[in-house]
């Protein structure tokens, strides 16, 4: 895997501590990192706080070798921050629970007045929340961030075959959960 | 169950099979034509993927970037404070005196150990020999003989035996 322009920018930042260079990287990536963090931590305030932690780590980086894509490196930093947070016992219960009856946010998959669509969107969020963090992350990194299996393997510190397996199991679980919703709706 | 048929290739088929080799894609298409369970699985997977693509994502709050900037400012300030604190700690009076004593000892050591050029004695002797006649011709040297005579005269005057 080759380094990219952002990796070169990061190397420049580490060498010069030029905050303007850092800001360019932040502007380019903070949304995708926030989305990634949200896969582990669903509470918006907590997700923002952890995303800040990720960028603080980036800011404090003293040594950086641009061997891989910057995005892959950054996702890996974010994954480590999230997993460290989830390992804290007092946090574990708080984060992975999605509230029953919570409405999907924004202009999601549910058109106004489409009760079945709303129900499906809600169940999708719940089904995603039920997945183990690495399954959820592998699946969504592939689907939403279009990372390759190799990049996901680097991000999650695992093998490509393990990534394929994580994605497959995530998809099976989602399909199973959502087909149950349809069956319930049909009965 | 359909996963017994397609396994991890279910996702690839749900995406149109582009990630598979042509031969394998053809093989699975033929299977799908005769397996209603796998057809349903592919359709369900496509539906799930379509829903996932429409998932809303969290937008950062207006305060997000500002809060991060504040944290970075604090980090910079802490780093600067740490630098000055270290410098200040290093410049306390006993340490400063110790450092000066050490520096003085080093300078003294260097001066003492500095090799001094050996005077070249043989050259000096040769130089003296060269000018020996000149020295003998000097009136001063001749007067030295007179001084010796004066000592003898003084001894006579004092009544000492010569």
pLDDT along chain A (187 residues), means of 10: 81 95 96 90 90 96 88 93 82 46 42 61 86 91 90 93 94 86 58
A109·B48 Cβ contact <8 A? no
Higher pLDDT, B73 or A178: B73
Per-residue pLDDT, A100 = 38
DSSP character at residue B52: H
Q: In terms of CA atoms, which chain A residue is nearest residue B2?
A: A172
B7·A121 Cβ contact <8 A? no
CB contacts, 8 Å: B49 with chain A: 143
Per-residue pLDDT, B1 = 41
Other beta carbons less than 10 A from residue A101's beta carbon: 6
B72·A174 Cβ contact <8 A? no
Q: How far apart are the first and last CA of chain B?
A: 147
Q: Respond yes or no on whether ipTM tops 0.85.
A: no
Per-residue pLDDT, A66 = 80
Per-residue pLDDT, B51 = 86
Q: Which of A52, A53, A129, A167 to mutate to test the interface with B (most CBs of B within 10 A)?
A: A52
Per-residue pLDDT, A146 = 87
Per-residue pLDDT, A22 = 97
CB contacts, 8 Å: A165 with chain B: 8
Contacts of A14 (CB under 8 A, 6+ apart): A61, A62, A63, A64
User: Positive or negative, the Cα torsion across A106, A135, B17, A70?
Assistant: positive
pLDDT higher than threshold 70 for residue B146: no
Of A19, A108, A175, the CB nearest to B48: A175
SS3 B58: coil
Per-residue pLDDT, A169 = 93
The answer to whether A38 and A96 are in contact (CB under 8 A) is no
B8·A165 Cβ contact <8 A? yes
A52·B52 Cβ contact <8 A? no
B48·A124 Cβ contact <8 A? yes
Contacts of A60 (CB under 8 A, 6+ apart): B75
Per-residue pLDDT, A3 = 57
The answer to whether B9 and B24 are in contact (CB under 8 A) is yes
pLDDT higher than threshold 90 for residue B64: yes
Whether chain A has a CB inside 8 Å of the CB on B57: the answer is yes
Number of residues that make up chain A = 187
Q: Give how far B58 is from chain A: nearest CA, Å.
A: 6
The percent of residues in chain B predicted with pLDDT above 90, rounded, is: 10
pLDDT confidence band for B113 (50 / 70 / 90): confident
Per-residue pLDDT, A166 = 95
CB contacts, 8 Å: A41 with chain B: none
Half-sphere exposure of A158 (CA within 13 A, CB side): 17
| Domains, chain A, with CATH or none | 1-97 (1.10.1740.10), 100-187 (1.10.10.10)
B3·A172 Cβ contact <8 A? yes
Other beta carbons less than 10 A from residue B16's beta carbon: 10
Per-residue pLDDT, B110 = 84
Higher pLDDT, B52 or B66: B66
Dist. CA B149–CA A104, nearest whole Å: 133
Of A44, A121, A175, the CB nearest to B45: A175
Dist. CA B28–CA A110, nearest whole Å: 33
B113-152 burial, b if ≥16 CB within 10 A, otherwise e?
A: eeeeeeeeeeeeeeeeeeeeeeeeeeeeeeeeeeeeeeee
Token pair for A96:
């992975």
Whether chain A has a CB inside 8 Å of the CB on B162: the answer is no
pLDDT higher than threshold 60 for residue B161: no
pLDDT higher than threshold 80 for residue B151: no
pLDDT higher than threshold 80 for residue B93: no
Per-residue pLDDT, A95 = 45
Per-residue pLDDT, B148 = 63
Per-residue pLDDT, B144 = 59
Higher pLDDT, B5 or B44: B44
Q: In terms of CA atoms, which chain B residue is nearest residue A146?
A: B53
């Amino acid at each position: 895997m080759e380094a990219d322009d952002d990796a070169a920018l990061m190397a420049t930042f580490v060498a010069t501590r030029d905050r303007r260079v850092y800001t360019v990287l932040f502007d380019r990536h903070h949304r995708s990192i926030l989305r990634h963090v949200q896969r582990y931590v669903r509470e918006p305030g907590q997700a923002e706080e952890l995303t800040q932690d990720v960028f603080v780590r980036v800011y404090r980086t003293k040594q950086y070798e641009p061997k891989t894509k910057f995005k892959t490196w950054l996702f890996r930093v974010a994954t480590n921050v999230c997993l460290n947070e989830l390992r804290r016992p007092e946090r574990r219960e708080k984060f992975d629970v999605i509230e029953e009856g919570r409405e999907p946010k924004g202009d999601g998959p549910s058109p106004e007045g489409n009760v079945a669509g709303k129900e499906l969107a809600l169940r999708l969020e719940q089904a995603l929340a039920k997945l183990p963090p690495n399954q959820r992350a592998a699946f969504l990194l592939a689907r939403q961030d279009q990372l390759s299996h190799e990049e996901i393997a680097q991000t999650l510190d695992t093998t490509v075959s393990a990534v394929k397996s994580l994605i497959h199991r995530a998809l099976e679980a989602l399909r199973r959960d959502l087909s149950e919703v349809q069956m319930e709706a049909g009965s | 169950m359909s996963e017994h048929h397609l396994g991890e290739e279910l996702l690839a088929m749900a995406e149109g099979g582009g990630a598979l080799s042509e031969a394998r894609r053809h093989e699975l298409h033929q299977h799908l034509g005769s397996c209603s369970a796998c057809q349903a699985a592919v359709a369900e997977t496509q539906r799930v993927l379509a829903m996932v693509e429409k998932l809303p994502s969290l937008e950062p709050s207006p305060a997000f970037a500002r809060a991060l900037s504040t944290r970075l400012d604090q980090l910079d300030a802490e780093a600067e404070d740490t630098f000055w604190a270290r410098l200040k700690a290093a410049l306390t009076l006993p340490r400063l005196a110790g450092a000066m004593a050490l520096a003085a000892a080093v300078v003294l050591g260097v001066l003492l150990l500095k090799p001094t050029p050996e005077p070249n004695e043989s050259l000096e002797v040769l130089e003296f020999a060269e000018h020996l006649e000149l020295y003998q011709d000097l009136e001063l040297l001749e007067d030295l003989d007179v001084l010796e005579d004066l000592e003898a005269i003084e001894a006579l005057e004092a009544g000492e035996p010569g």
